[in-house]
Structure 1
Amino acid sequence: MKTNPGRFFEDYRIGEVIAHAVPRTVSGGERALYHALYPARGALYSSDAFAQACGLPQSPVDDLIAFHTVFGKTVPDISLNAVANLGYAEGRWLAPVYPGDTLRAQSEVIGLKENSNGASGNVYVRTAGLNQHGVTVLDYVRWVMVRKRSPDAPAPDPVVPALAKVVAPADLVVPQGLTFEGYDFALAGEPHRWGDYAVGEQIDHVDGVTIEEAEHMIATRLWQNTAKVHFDATFRPDGRRLIYGGHVISLARALSFNGLANAQMIVALNGGAHANPCFAGDTVKAWSEVLDKAETAAPGIGAIRLRLVATKQGAEPFALRGEAGKYLPEVLLDLDYWALMPL
């Protein structure tokens, strides 16, 4: 058999290391398509001149381009037969990715737990994205619900990894040479700096975008994400194609420009949950909450920890969970990350 049906839950083993195919060289083309798909306007990722004024050799590709590219490499081996991608933890961006860099990915299986229904199980992997020099540019943990090939297959001993709830500020990596001492707030689009934000502050990003099926299909193919639930309308009982969670992440992050234009580089992903499914026709809005702040050793640079919440039509601003503690049905994404911001 030459075709690949994808892995099922019973095919994974604790400690297994998977080298993912196929390496990919990123270019300005990915940036152009990314900015066409999302209202992304971060100055550091839009202008070589702005990036050079901040001490970088040129404008890197958006952090989420690197994330989606590496994530997409893992899909054929990790989540081709997924029911849903469930969450993230311990993510760090360790080096910028520039046009011309070639990215590859590898993952280690660090946890397995069969679900009570016996039809699926959760697979935990730690994934690293490496460039052509063998330098790790990002790593993260994610867990995904994967179908079983046979409900009668014996369940493995459950292993659920202990994961840090937050990446410690001391472990955040500021790119070499980056400085915000001469940061141009007028060109960046907003005057608000690190000191203007208070822990506990909530920001309604105001704008909304209705997701179209065609845009989602372009995005998912762009990142070479082959998960069947995103393409095959017969794969779900309701006959609907599930919107790729990374599409919602990028859309919400781009919407957060209105109010957080100077939260430039994402340097850590503390945690995240795709709270409810998203489908074509949903209108996505976003709000943020400032969870923490920290200084860095780099000139003029502070770190800000943000909760980014994406919602769909019918949601009330800043509403997250119901009385039972569960996510409200209008909440699509709950993401916790660190970003770098000028002091």
Structure 2
Amino acid sequence: MTKTSPAKTNSGRFFEDYNVSDVLRHAVPRTVSGGERALYHALYPARHALYSSDEFARRSGLPKSPIDDLAAFHLVFGKTVPDVSLNAVANLGYAEGRWLLPVYEGDTLRAESEVIGIKQNSNGKTGVVWVRTRGVNQRDETVLEYVRWVMLRKSDLDAPAPSPVIPELNKVLSVDQLVIPQGLDFSNYDFSQAGETHRWGDYAVGEKIDHVDGVTIEEAEHMLATRLWQNTAKVHFDTTARPDGSRLIYGGHVISMARALSFNGLANAQMIVGLNGGAHANPCTSGMTVRAWSEVLDKAETSAPGVGAIRLRLVATAGGEPFSIKGEDGKYLPHVLLDLDYWALMPL
């Protein structure tokens, strides 16, 4: 006689499975190795000196070169996917992101999220969930935190709509909310090793920079990236999860590609310390050639020696004219893939 037992597999959470104030403690902790840096630089044309050279990092006041800020973000983000976005229709946006401590080889990171908002869509089939996520190291120190919101499917269409709770989020982080890594000092910054001579004072608010270069997105690189970050969202792997039968390229892959392309013109925008907001404007699929441009939104001095903060808008596109982003209707143009607003640190 065949015995049956309760299902042991995890089909993921659906919209009706979330409640405001839920705390999600994500599996599985991950110890960072030197391979993280090597793979990140293999996947993207990443060349920022602070993340490439221990000697450059030590000259800048750090004990050694940390892993790229976005690599740390992807690592923490990937932990959250099984609990937050396994059944997501789309990852909609980000806010209030702060990098609080550099992440070094040997650190072990884990993640936890709190549900801070929820709202069912008018179609009754999907809803939006807001979570605040923290990445924590082996010393229980928070290394980064951010808010993101995702659109999720409902499994039970008859499940009652919850009372909507929409969190109030800061549109922009102020400079005093940014955390400068302890010891960071750009007083003896080596511009020749960094690759460009442009410093904080050379950029003007309102200036736009076309980063010129482009990279064609390949399935193999995307699949390696999502597996590296243990991102298990079905739309990135299973071609039956999308009506058109294509794999959706992980939005973080587009972010890192655009950030790496921005080296040409912003080689000295070294550390990302704040994420004000971001939107994945249109889906990215294999075969698209990604290009990027940036706009300087703000600048501020910091208390760290030789260190200035620069607020940048980073836009990734698949075609179209540089610096075009929205139509007369206020909606993103079809070629715009990413619109990201962030703070970086740059030598004065």
**TM-score between both structures, scaled by the size of structure 1:** 0.99
Q: Gaps (5+ residues) in structure 2?
A: 1-6
Helix, strand or coil at the partner of 1:226? coil
Equivalent in the alignment of 1:2: 8
Give the one of 55, 60, 78 matched to 1:54: 60
State the 1:186 CA deviation: 0.2
Deviations 1:197-235 (A, max 9, x none): 000000000000000001100001000000000000011
Equivalent in the alignment of 2:334: 329
Equivalent in the alignment of 1:155: 161
Aligned pair count?
342
Deviations 1:277-304 (A, max 9, x none): 0000000000000000011000000000
Equivalent in the alignment of 1:247: 253
Instruction: Map 1:1-343 onto structure 2 (within 5 A).
Output: 1-313=7-319, 315-343=320-348
Deviations 1:38-77 (A, max 9, x none): 0000000000000000010000000001100000000000
State the 1:151 CA deviation: 1.4
Cα distance in 1 for partners of 2:236, 2:90 equals 10
Cα distance in 2 for partners of 1:218, 1:73 equals 16
Deviations 1:76-125 (A, max 9, x none): 00000000100000000000000010000000000000111111100000
Aligned-pair identity (%): 78
Helix, strand or coil at the partner of 2:240? coil
Deviations 1:1-31 (A, max 9, x none): 1000000000001001110000000111011
**TM-score between both structures, scaled by the size of structure 2:** 0.98
Helix, strand or coil at the partner of 1:234? helix
Cα distance in 1 for partners of 2:336, 2:25 equals 34
Give the letter for the 1:69 counterpart: L
Cα distance in 1 for partners of 2:234, 2:207 equals 39
Q: Over aligned residue pairs, what C-alpha RMSD do you find?
A: 0.4
Deviations 1:142-164 (A, max 9, x none): 00001101111110001110000
Q: Gaps (5+ residues) in structure 1?
A: none
Give the letter for the 2:337 counterpart: L
Cα distance in 1 for partners of 2:60, 2:137 equals 23
Cα distance in 2 for partners of 1:200, 1:93 equals 25
Helix, strand or coil at the partner of 1:116? coil
TM superposition outliers: structure 1 runs of 4+ over 2 Å = none
Cα distance in 2 for partners of 1:339, 1:212 equals 28
